[in-house]
Structure 1
Amino acid sequence: SPVVREKARVSPFLQSWAPLQRKLPRSLKRLYKTAAKFNLKFDALALSKDVKEELPIWFHNGASSDLRRHNNTRNADCLRENHGVIKVGDVTNLINRNYICHSRRRNCACTPCKDDRSQGCNAPYKCQEEAIKILDCLNEKWDPRKEIAPTNPDLLPDERDKNVQALAEKEVLTFDPKVIMNGPSVDGYRIFCEDTSDTPAHQMVALDDEGEPSDETIFVGNSHKVNQDGEHISSGGIWYGQGDERNRTVRVPMDLASKESGKTAAVLYAIQNSPREASLHFKLD
């Protein structure tokens, strides 16, 4: 495996390196094995520019194999040691500076190059060009220069507040169609992951027969009881309307039965069996 400089190490879950488990404390070794067992990964559907820039640039999990040629070069060492480049945002800040009267010379008189030389960099223009090459290694989903414009609008702040109140009062909830993660980056971790995709998720709007955005209001019921043998039995129901063939009772496996699991199973079933682009409104019993 390639050498990973100390300053390049941020997190094995965000980068393409793994720690030597025999050198880890017992508690960290157990934690790391558990994460591997349940396939923990950073796997957000799509990321905002701010989140992309918070991720480590070296050994980036979302980069092409070309990044391997840049992780440990002389310029890479200079970028880490003299320019303080650790995150993706550090790279974008470096290349977006105001390079007025810049030239590809070691003694370039532009202000950014003067500043870099004062920090110990012998050839600022080479580090700037290396930074661009490194950023170009990032795949579309992870590149902060490529913004995602979702078709479905996210919920407005007042709509989110109404959802909190509606949940407490058992009223209609407005489904949040947002796929872009705005932060913090810790929200991007998932378990039971398969291979992550480097293509950002794209939202589409489902249209009804009249060409209008499709909305669904779904009523959700819950049932839970303990039989004479002491076994917990749970189920949930979804109801779209009188005589609707989509109305359904969803039974919960006995080992997962609880007071609220029927409702959870019913909502999950409704989501899985509705058009992916539809706006869903759940009314809880």
Structure 2
Amino acid sequence: MPREVETRIEKRIRKFLWDDKTLVRVNKETIYAPIAEGGRQLLDLLARNEAILVTWLRSYLNLNENRATWTYIADAILAHHVPSKFANLEERDKINTFLQSWTSNSSKLPKDLRDLISIAKKYGARTEGLAFSRNIIRQMPIWLHSEAADIHKLHNSKESRCLRQNHGVITVGDIETQAQKIRTPRHGRRRNCRCTACETARNECHCEAPYRCFSKANELLRTLPEKWNPTSDLPEDHEPHELQPPEIEGGITFDHRITVHGSLADAFRIFTQGNTINRIPEVVGDPQPAELKVEAYTDGSCQHNGSDDATAGAGIFYGEGNILNKSIRIPQNLPQTNQTGEIVSVKTAVTDVDPNHSL
């Protein structure tokens, strides 16, 4: 409802109630109160209109697959009308003003969107929680991340542009995947590195310097505060994945976990105050290794075992398409037996897997 219409209606209500009296000894809160409490149960137009805006805001921030069509149009309009300091940003990099550090020029927005942004600021709508699950963290856009103060300094580097344009990096999960590739077996900090990850990046992504992009991805990941970094030791690592059933029939188990689960839509809160805190709270509990567990299949083999021309090999398999999968020819200075191959495969797996993971 336009503000001028709201004002006219309020004046008519006032005239009807008080007959144009200038001195009224009953405040609005009493008039709006229920009749049982001594009020007149009059409709609070301002509160009603703001409540409608809040429901629209909730719909806009429902960042799931079933998001309303109008919200995508709103995204495009908000991303198009930005102050001059954000004018050089590409449209595809401006995903959501509530998740990133760019803002819209409110004076150029349609009134409905201007009111939407205004109500969000008035009541403190933002991502808020003591801790978030990795699923939520990985859905956040990495570019101009709202909680990474210095990430904008890396936005226009050659490697960052390549990560966006050639590697298709959009989210924190995407950048985490790229950063992990610096641990690919036989990966080296050189332009002609022939490791599996670099070869794939050159052939499929047309990346000229994969090792630089992987290093930049790692640098971008490090700009995230620990609360928003998927590589951090998060509270969910110390919380039970499932709650115990209630001891009393028909009872409800209290969820004592502090981690917010679900999707990005579940990370938003309203009526927040003050600055956000990006430190991870201390949590006492037993670590849950399931999230960090790596399963590897190892084996050794030997042709002509026991003879002078025996040749042995080893193999490690982590899963279909995993870049850590490998086959190894056993060097001639080692015994050419299948037992040697088995030992080498296990030793290689232990060396290749991140020490923070359970193998």
Question: Which residue of structure 1 lines up, in the alignment, with residue 216 of structure 2?
Answer: 130
Give the direction of change, closer, same or farther, for the CA distance of 1:74–1:156 in structure 2 (3 Å limit).
Answer: closer
Aligned length: 197
2:135 corresponds to which letter in structure 1? Answer: D
- Looking at structure 1, the residues matched to 206 and 116 of structure 2 have their Cα atoms a distance apart, in angstroms, of 39
CA contact (8 A) 1:152 1:177 kept: no
Name 2:279's counterpart in structure 1: 199
> Aligned equivalents of 2:262 and 2:147: distance in 1?
17
Matches within 5 A, 1:123-162: 123-149=209-235, 153=239, 156-157=242-243, 159=245
1:83-126 Cα shifts (integer Å, max 9, x gaps)? 11110000111122362322222222222212222322211111
Identity, % of aligned pairs?
A: 33
Residue 92 of structure 1 corresponds to 176
Alignment of 1:178-197 (within 5 A): 178-194=257-273, 195-197=275-277
Aligned to 1:209: none
- The correspondence for 1:48, drawn from 133, 152, 167, is 133
Cα distance, 1:32 vs structure 2 = 1.5
Relative to its length, the structure with more helix (as a share) is 2
Distance 1:38 1:116, change over 3 A: same
Instruction: Check whether the contact 2:235–2:259 (CA below 8 A) recurs between aligned residues.
Output: no
Give 1 or 2 for the bigger CA radius of gyration: 2
Structure whose residues are more often strand by fraction: 1
TM-score, structure 2 as length reference: 0.50
1:104 and 1:153 map into 2 onto residues whose CA distance is: 38
Once residues 104 and 116 of structure 1 are traced to their aligned partners in structure 2, the CA distance between those partners, rounded to angstroms, is 14
- Contact 1:38–1:192, Cα closer than 8 Å, also in 2: yes
TM-score, normalization by structure 1: 0.62
State the shift of 1:142 in Å: 0.7
Q: CA RMSD in A?
A: 2.6
Query: Once structures 1 and 2 are overlaid, which stretch shifts more, 74-83 or 16-25?
Result: 16-25
Is the CA contact 1:150–1:203 (under 8 Å) kept in the aligned structure 2? no
Cα distance change on mapping 1:111 and 1:23 into 2, 3 Å: farther
Distance 2:214 2:254 in 1: 45
Q: Label 1:58 to 1:153 Cα distance change in 2 as closer, same or farther (>3 A).
A: closer
Aligned to 1:263: none
Contact kept, 8 Å, 1:43 with 1:190, in 2: the verdict is: yes
| Unaligned residue ranges in structure 1 (runs of 5+) | 167-171, 206-285
Q: Does 1:107 align with 2:107?
A: no
Q: Which residue in the other structure is 2:201 paired with?
A: 116
User: What SS is found at the alignment partner of 1:56?
Assistant: coil
CA contact (8 A) 1:155 1:178 kept: no
User: Is contact 1:21–1:29 with CA below 8 Å preserved after alignment?
Assistant: yes
Contact kept, 8 Å, 1:140 with 1:198, in 2: the verdict is: yes
Alpha-carbon deviations, 1:147-193, whole Å to 9, x = none?
Answer: 22469855845637x89x84xxxxx5443212101211211111121
**2:164 corresponding residue in structure 1:** 80
CA contact (8 A) 1:150 1:204 kept: no
Q: Closer, same or farther in 2 for the Cα pair 1:126/1:188, shift >3 Å?
A: same
Equivalent residue runs for 1:1-285 within 5 Å: 1-2=85-86, 3-63=88-148, 65-97=149-181, 99-118=184-203, 119-149=205-235, 153=239, 156-157=242-243, 159=245, 166=250, 173-194=252-273, 195-203=275-283
